[in-house]
Structure 1
Amino acid sequence: MLKAPLALFAGATALTAPAFAQTYETETGTIELASYVEGLQFPWGMVFLDDGSMLVTERAGNLRHVTAEGEISEPVAGVPDVVFEGQGGLLGIALDPDFASNRYVYLSFAEAGEEAGTNSTAVARGVLDAEMTELVDVEIIFSQQPKLPSSLHFGSRLVFDNDGYLFITTGERSDAEFRVQAQDLGSHLGKVIRILPDGTVPEDNPFVGTDGALPEIWSYGHRNMQGAALHPETGQLWVSEHGPRGGDELNRIVAGGNYGWPLLTEGTEYSGDPIDPPQDLPGDLIAAERTWVPSPAPSGLMFYTGDMFPDWQGDAFMGALAGTDLIRIDLDGDSVVGDEFLFGDAFEYRIRDVVQGPDGALYLLTDDADGRILRLSAAQ
């Protein structure tokens, strides 16, 4: 574990805000963390385009185009209305696997229900114009049911697999009266969803044809998954998941799997009261690949495949909101063998998302009213 900073200096970016760069010693060598873009408002998700620019979501409901030089656009028009309340707003983002030809962008967000005060996670897709200024032909392809009066636990990461199916992570909306639905196959709460790009259901989903089950469901028994990524060798979906007080999890997702919430957890209620498993606990619950107590509050997940950090190839990286850090998850194939908190106690940024850039560096979104994109590279 890290580890005191070795150097600190002020500099300048393409924007007017002050920049910083700082070096850290890690288990595999020295790294440098620098401010790349500043002036975002509570950014949540980020994707790179082929020209090195980025699309970034801001929770208040704005989609921004950020040039490779760090210039932030005005909000892209055409984004659906969002419920910007609590943890809700404009959240996850993904590009269509055929984006170069169809220019489809997928956005997850908190969608208002017909009944006042209710909402849930939804996913829309639209076509991004060539000028990067507007989404057109926007349509809702998934809307989590039921819609409830809660401003918590929206999940909302979007991942396409190697066959072109879209995975959506959802939350169970937190409240004790709602969270039991994570075990209910007739509810979208606390589930991984798998659909086709147009929102239709693949015929090989595990609960297609099961009485009382929603066919979009891929796995269940989840709490609040705010990180998701495909393993680069196996193509399997992995998710990072908020536990209650303690018990944050890294899970490898299998079709039809039950991941136990709220029946079984290593965490407790926020009050400190235990969460005791029932006597008739199902015998087929899937254990987490890694569990953290106390909670770092995971958000954002990726597997590293670049050349800048040869020792990190195949490892996973996970943002931390409560631990204010970036966590490297040491993998041997698809087995977790350890982890490393890279920045240490002096680091103050909540890391909302982490993405590998085309240059092999890691780019981190900070969760703040004056949010940044930080660039993590090998120290020179």
Structure 2
Amino acid sequence: MNKKNGRFYGALTGLLLIVSLAAGTLAETPPVETRRANTDYQPAFAGQTRAPGMKTNETYRVDILAQDLDKPWALAALPDGRLAITEKDGTMRLYRTDGALSGKIVGFPQVESGGQGGLLDLLPAQDFQASRILYFSLAEKTAEGSLTAVGRGRLSDDETRIEDFRVLYRAYPYYNVGAHFGSRLAWGKDGSLFVSTGDRQSAGTRAMAQDPSSGYGKIIRLSPEGQAETYSLGHRNVQGMAVHPLTQELWASEMGPRGGDEINLILPGKNYGWPVISYGNEYSGRRIGDGLTRLEGMEQPVYYWDPVLAPSGMSFYASEAISEWQYDLFVGGLAGQHISRLKIRDGRVIGEERLLENENQRFRDLAEGLDGALYAVTDGGRLYRIGP
């Protein structure tokens, strides 16, 4: 990627950030989180929260490629090396390999762009090179209210619009609160498409996360034939999903309330507990429900944060370009204003590192590029490259 439009950060020259820090033995290092927790809940097992801190030993660099995106929400690498980026108000951009940013690409249905809504995630079809098809999630706006919808359309030959957009799935019912849409997308190993939905952030709707007949608070599997089924339930607001490059397991990041942000390994048919169990409290400080953190028949998070990270998009790092990052999970933090790098072994988090925590940015989404770098977009309109 051409970096002529980006700024370079760092302590060495004020323009370039080079990171090369010695990593100690993880079991001997303190956690990166030092603030007091919001709750007095105890983890269910060692390492479920506040994992030992770690630092990257290899050298990498951080570049800002663009700073004028309009409320970007998601990005995805295309097969030719370009990046496709959604903008919340209902447009898409392409970041080209020569460093140029396209104009606004239109052609989407009307979106509920207020609050947490908008044009949200995107994924290229697995045959994108031939079909030019892209899949999108969005907060669909109607006279009845809004909901999470998934659709697909074709990128026009002149790359100015999305043609023949068609909605494939709607997470009913409609509701008039512009929050907790979920909306992250991920491809399954069999060609199925996973989409997350939120509980819509209302005392009157959160219980629907436990209702199998409701579209709220679920991870939905859309088969290659277009049939929708509930894959897992009991979710508050999953804004990150990624498939492990080796195991093909589906992982998700979930926003908790006041404390209790989660990383979960998603298994078919499992119940992830919301709002019956949680490691967080209400924003008022009151317990949620009966104040339970575990209950038979409900899954424990692999990891949780308290205070919150406000985890959004995430990506496993598959490249060998930075070898000590390989297969680590990178999670964008909104309230935390950094990227969390998690080292996972045998289904447990054994180390955590904070990246870019001095940038003062809300990291909305992450994706690995074809060049072995991670790319990130922020609510402030920036596009970052993080890599060799």
Question: TM-score surpassing 0.5?
Answer: yes
Q: Which moved more, 1:244-253 or 1:136-145?
A: 136-145
**Structure 2 segments unaligned to the other structure (5+ residues):** 1-8, 22-54
The answer on 1:347 being equivalent to 2:352 is: no
TM-score, with length taken from structure 1: 0.87
8 Å contact 1:141–1:198 — kept in the other structure? no
Query: Counterpart of 2:126 in structure 1: which amino acid?
Result: P
CA distance in 2, matches of 1:25, 1:131: 43
Picking from 232, 239, 244, the partner of 1:226 is: 239
Report matched runs for 1:266-305 at 5 Å.
266-277=279-290, 283-305=296-318
Structure 1 position 161, deviation (Å): 1.1
The answer on 1:243 being equivalent to 2:256 is: yes
Report matched runs for 1:310-349 at 5 Å.
310-344=323-357, 346-349=358-361
CA distance in 2, matches of 1:334, 1:304: 16
The answer on 1:162 being equivalent to 2:193 is: no
Report matched runs for 1:192-203 at 5 Å.
192-197=219-224, 199-201=226-228
**Structure 1 segments unaligned to the other structure (5+ residues):** 11-20, 202-215
The answer on 1:171 being equivalent to 2:166 is: no
The answer on 1:377 being equivalent to 2:387 is: yes
Query: Counterpart of 2:11 in structure 1: which amino acid?
Result: L
* Percent of aligned positions that are identical: 40
| Moved segments of 4+, more than 6 Å | none
Which residue of structure 1 aligns with residue 119 of structure 2? 90
CA distance in 2, matches of 1:336, 1:367: 27
CA distance in 2, matches of 1:273, 1:334: 31
Structure 1 position 50, deviation (Å): 2.1
CA distance in 1, matches of 2:187, 2:160: 24
Which residue of structure 2 aligns with residue 101 of structure 1? 130
Picking from 19, 28, 42, the partner of 2:71 is: 42
Picking from 6, 9, 30, the partner of 2:11 is: 6
Q: Which moved more, 1:143-152 or 1:334-343?
A: 334-343
8 Å contact 1:314–1:333 — kept in the other structure? no
The answer on 1:363 being equivalent to 2:363 is: no
Per-residue CA distance 1:176-234 (angstroms, 9 max, x = gap): 11111000111010000001245323xxxxxxxxxxxxxx2110000001100001121
Query: Counterpart of 1:331 in structure 2: which amino acid?
Result: I
CA distance in 2, matches of 1:25, 1:291: 28
CA distance in 2, matches of 1:61, 1:373: 18
TM-score, with length taken from structure 2: 0.85
Which residue of structure 2 aligns with residue 28 of structure 1? 56
Picking from 59, 77, 83, the partner of 1:54 is: 83
8 Å contact 2:277–2:295 — kept in the other structure? no
8 Å contact 1:83–1:110 — kept in the other structure? yes
Report matched runs for 1:104-183 at 5 Å.
104-115=133-144, 118-183=145-210
Query: Counterpart of 2:150 in structure 1: which amino acid?
Result: V
8 Å contact 1:123–1:142 — kept in the other structure? yes
Structure 1 position 52, deviation (Å): 1.6
Structure 1 position 70, deviation (Å): 2.5
8 Å contact 2:265–2:302 — kept in the other structure? yes
SS, match of residue 269 in structure 2: coil
SS, match of residue 204 in structure 2: helix
Structure with higher strand content? 1
Across the aligned residues of Structure 1 and Structure 2, the Cα RMSD in angstroms comes to: 1.8
Per-residue CA distance 1:287-322 (angstroms, 9 max, x = gap): 001000000100111111112210111110000001
Structure 1 position 71, deviation (Å): 1.7
SS, match of residue 347 in structure 1: coil
8 Å contact 1:171–1:191 — kept in the other structure? yes
8 Å contact 1:244–1:269 — kept in the other structure? yes
Per-residue CA distance 1:211-270 (angstroms, 9 max, x = gap): xxxxx2110000001100001121111000000001000000011110000011110111
Per-residue CA distance 1:329-376 (angstroms, 9 max, x = gap): 1112543212111233x33011001111111011110112xx011111
- Count of residues paired in the alignment: 345
